[in-house]
Each structure stands twice: as C-alpha cells, then as structure tokens.
A and B are shown apart, each in its own frame.
Chain A
Amino acid sequence: MEPLVTVGVLSAFVVYGTFVAFVNTDYFVDPYLSPFFSPCLASNCEEATWDLFGTHWGFSPALLILPFPLGFRLTCYYYRKAYYRSFLWSPPACAVSDFRSSYTGETKFPLILQNVHRYFFFLALPFPIILLYDALRAFRFEGEFGMGLGTLILLANAVLLGLYTLSCHSCRHLVGGGINLLSQAPIRRRLWGVSTRLNARHMQYAWVSLFGVLIADLYVRLLANGVFSDPRFF
C-alpha cells in the first residue's frame, strides 16, 4: 500500500507542477505570488521579483527556477528511499525481493549522480528565504498592512520549506557532521545539534513541505480564477 501511495502522490505532484509551469498564467494575485514562480526572474513575469533575464527569456519563468528545488528533492536521501522502493521496487518493501535480478546501487551512471545532492542543497538554500520575503510582502494590501488567509498559507509554506531544507542530511554533514572533534568547534556543534534534531523529522518535512507548495500554488490559482475571494483577517 505504501509504495502505491508514494507513486500516486509523487506522480500527481510532477504532473501538477509540469502543468503549472507550462500553463504560465494565474500565478500572481496581488500580493500573493505562487511558489512555483518565485523568484520570478524575467520580464514576462506577471510580477517580477528581480528582472534578471529581461526580455531574453521567452518561456515560462517557472522553468528558470524549478530545476533547483526539483533537483534537491530528486537527490534527497529521503526521496531516494521513497522512489527506489515505490517506483523501482528496489526493494518494494523490506524482506520483499528486488524486482531486478542485477543491482549496482549508486555506483554507476546515472545513479552515481545522486552524489551531487549537496550542490542542490546549496542551490535550494535561498528558496525558503525568498519565499519568506514573498510571505512578508503578502502582509501589504494596496500599501496598507494587513493579513489574509493567503498570507498565512505563504508563510507556512516558507517555514515548512525552510525546515525541510535545514533538516537535510547534507546540511547536517556540512554544518558539523563531517568533523570528529565537535568539542573544538562550539558553533558548529550547536548547528549540528539543531540540524540533527530537525533531521529526525526529515521525512515528515519532506512530505508536508511538498503539500505546502502545492496548496500555496493552488490557493493563488483559485484566487486568480475568481473561484473565491481571499478571507482577510485585518
């Protein structure tokens, strides 16, 4: 049952993400920007965060940024476990036979590329900060301070994505796990302690943050299509 659920959820997310990226509309309703398009880096954005590529980029601006969080999740140690089990059946479950008769693990191309995970971690690190910036911007409605349901959704999404990123195994290694004498590096020891505590829930953060991104985009999309109006708290 578990592999089936994993296949269903991950496939649905990939299909939804691809659809959203290529449809390239309805991702901004002032002041909410969908996380699939943040940061928006081209002139053809509905709301440009930073017009880095100007008019040189003619495709969906989501394509400029999505490879980084996608690569981070694809090479993530937790997701690897999830899709090796559910998609590749290697193995489908503990003590259940592998689907394939030969096995080389992550020693050969293409799976040896999983070792680039820490680079995707570096590339994914700015995203929670940018999304937090988006969430803070979402406290302003036509120049006035305010808060709507969308503000809370964007804020929760940024926090969940931050927890997922900082609980990453590569992060845990880089902040202190790679050294044996933590007693001689007090700052790294503290960082490693925090990362270790977060890392224990990496799987939960992986799933919740995935749904967070999905819900945030869906919320903005429904608002943009006028399905309902954003409830304002003040």
Chain B
Amino acid sequence: MANENKITITTKAEQIELADVANGPVNASFIAAGIGAAALGLIIPLSEALPAFKTFLTWDKGVGPLSGKTIIPTVLFFIVWAVLGILWKGKNTTTRTAVTIGLVGFAIGLIGSFPPVFEAFTAK
C-alpha cells in the first residue's frame, strides 16, 4: 500500500527595503576589463610584428617580453577603471553599452592571444 502521508512546507513571505546603488562604477569596471583584455590581444601580435617592440617589452630578463605584455594591459585595466569609476561615481550609465565594450574587448583579447593568430604577424 502506497504511503499517502503528505508534508506541507510553508516559506516566509517578507519584504526588505534597500537603497539602490548607481551602476556607474560597475559599468566602469566592464569597460576597463574590455580595454585591458583588448590591450593584451593587440600587444601580442604587435610584439611579434615589431622585434624592437618585443625587446622593449622585456622588462625582466627571466620573464622576457611576457613581462611587458602582461603588465601593460593589467595597469591599463586598473587605471581606466579608477578614472571612469571616479568620473561615474554616484551616476547611472548604460549597462548594455558598457557590457558590449567589455565583451568586444575580451573577444579581441581571446583572438589576439591565440598562437595561430599572433604568429601570423611574426616578423620574417
């Protein structure tokens, strides 16, 4: 015989009021991430095409040109984020545009860091 016992589950219905925050600083971070990622995706093929630039990027003997190639996009990310974050503090901006810039930047970063792509720019 099947067990026909039933259990009733009641969950709480509550409300909470919180102060909403402006989206400016978050949108600044989306854009900054896109710019940092795009910088990485552009610096890599550029350093392949220009041997002098690759040499310039060698800021540490052990790490080689990878040192400059990674420090520049990282610093750029934090600088753009700080500048836009200050400018947009307490302000609302368009999230769709910021996210689009961020994602396009990441697409450039992913494409530019893929070896078959950047090796196509290697100086002969």
A-B complex is real: no
